Structure 1
Amino acid sequence: MLWNFALALLQEDVSNPAPVAANSSALIEMVHNSGPVAFTVLVILLIASIFSWAIMLSKWSSFRRAQMQGQRFVRAFRKSTRLSEIASVAEQFKPSPLVPVFIEIHDEYQRQNGGRGLPRNPVALERAAQTASSEALTAMERRMTWLATIAAIAPFIGLFGTVMGIIDAFHGLGTAGAATLRAVAPGISEALITTAAGLVVAIPAVVGYNQLTARLREFASRMDDFGRELLNAIENAALLTPPAQPQQPEEPRRRSF
């Protein structure tokens, strides 16, 4: 049965050869001749592709600025001898996620003992650094879930168009009453083009999501390292500062009788 069907399709193709066209014109013609279901699927995939590329380009640009500003901020921090100097110019490096970590630790240190001496509660400084790192990382992860969603569902959207194209092909085969290529060609073309469109949308989104996630892990690691470096700098500066000499108590005056 299957052999007779394939032989009939082959004979139909040989007896009625189609003109050879360019790949681009054939693709445009298939899209133009698509049914309403396949056309809707293609429009949805096009919107998803544009949205995913917009997310990836904006994230790559923002991550690049954050990395450059972070390197500048670390160089300025290591050259400075006072935390107050860094605090006064920290806003200049604002795109860097290291700046919120510094500001949180510096503010907590100021609240504890006015920025002098050993911190009374080092654990509170560590918690402040962890909170700032978490908030900065959450801000950098914004819209990443949309990219993961597009990467996950785009093949299934294309598969829906594929299923509907196959259904259309069998419907055309049943209507024609004969196993001819002309009867099944529209449905098969819709199935193939929606499958390809789903893969074209999903593959870049998967690659971009994995690369951006790796960059986020790098930023998280750098924020943790910088927080520990800042805490060490505070403790070392407090240990090197000589303690204030206590004032000698005044001798009690002798009462004269």
Structure 2
Amino acid sequence: MNPAAQHDLSPLALFLQADPIVKGVMLLLALASVACWGIIIEKIAATRRLRAEARRLASAVAGGTTPEGGLAAEVVAAGAREWHEGRDADESRGEYRERMERAMRAPLTTALRAAEPGLPLLATIGAVGPFIGLFGTVWGIMNSFSGIAASGDTSLAVVAPGIAEALFATAIGLVAAIPSVMAYNRFTTGFARIRQAAQASIAELAAGMSRRPAPGRSLRAAE
């Protein structure tokens, strides 16, 4: 019988036959991969929700309607509170508009910050995952060479299983790291675009509100 046939090189067998340290590396990377996909699924939902709120805010600005519920309604309500307070006597229209924008940006910033946890972990997995896998590979190859030196047998049948186990650690590291890097870049770009779109709507809304006198309060200062 061919000695190579005696070795099972399936992923499960490679894990079970690996050195304890290499097994630990594989388990760590597998957990990192699971965490990565959990974050990705959660961020997909968060991105869709925030993008929908940004569209609702833009529609409210364009149509002059007040959204009901959600982040868009919170943003409009925050600006409306400042508008109802009116413009102070020593306040220019630009300062008045900036005050309303600042009030409306507060709930937007809070919502975006609430959606950001998990992104640093994606960046960390993407950065260190390949190196952790490489550590497992180097350790596994060192063990293989030690076994070769002890047995004195340099045939491929003896060398291949140990090297395969070692390289499997690098493969798991790449499986964890590649989606993490891609997801991190996608979500950070997506959140930045949502922020820009919402802030543009806020600026337009504040500019329109600043040109209208607040109800129940007269303008006490000329520009």
TM-score (norm 2): 0.81
Structure 2 residue 7 is the aligned partner of structure 1 residue 18: no
Q: Unaligned regions of 5+ residues in structure 2, if any?
A: 219-223
Q: How far apart in 2 are the matches of 1:55 and 1:213?
A: 13
Closer, same or farther: CA 131–120 of 1 in aligned 2, 3 Å: same
Pair 156,103 (structure 1): closer, same or farther in 2 beyond 3 Å:
farther
Task: Give, as a single letter, the amino acid of the residue that structure 2 aligns with 1:63.
Answer: T
Percent identity between the two aligned chains: 31
Hey, which bits of structure 1, 4+ residues long, moved more than 6 A? none
Q: Secondary structure at the match of 1:237?
A: coil
What residue is the counterpart of 1:172 in the other structure? 147
Q: How has the CA–CA distance of structure 1 residues 99 and 159 changed in structure 2, closer, same or farther, with 3 Å as cutoff?
A: farther
Structure-2 residue corresponding to 1:101: 75
- 1:111 aligned partner: 85
**Equivalent position SS for 1:163:** helix
Select 1:56's aligned residue among 33, 40, 43.
40
1:18 is paired with a residue whose SS is: helix
Distance 2:188 2:142 in 1: 39
Q: Which residue of 1 aligns with 2:212?
A: 237
Structure 1 CA distance for aligned equivalents of residues 192 and 130 of structure 2: 27
1:173–1:179 contact (8 Å) kept in structure 2: yes
Q: Tell me if the contact between 2:18 and 2:165 (Cα under 8 Å) persists in the aligned partners.
A: yes
1:36 aligns to what? Answer: 20
Higher alpha-carbon Rg: 1
Is the CA contact (8 Å cut-off) linking 2:26 and 2:169 kept in structure 1? Answer: yes
CA contact (8 A) 2:61 2:204 kept: no
* CA 1:76–1:225: 2 relative to 1, 3 Å: closer
Q: Is the 8 A contact 1:161 1:190 kept in 2?
A: no
1:31 is aligned with what amino acid? F
C-alpha distance 185-227 of structure 1, shift in aligned 2 (>3 A): same
How far has the Cα of 1:163 moved from its partner?
1.2
| Structure 1 partner of 2:129 | 154
Structure 1: runs of 5+ lacking an equivalent: 1-14, 245-257
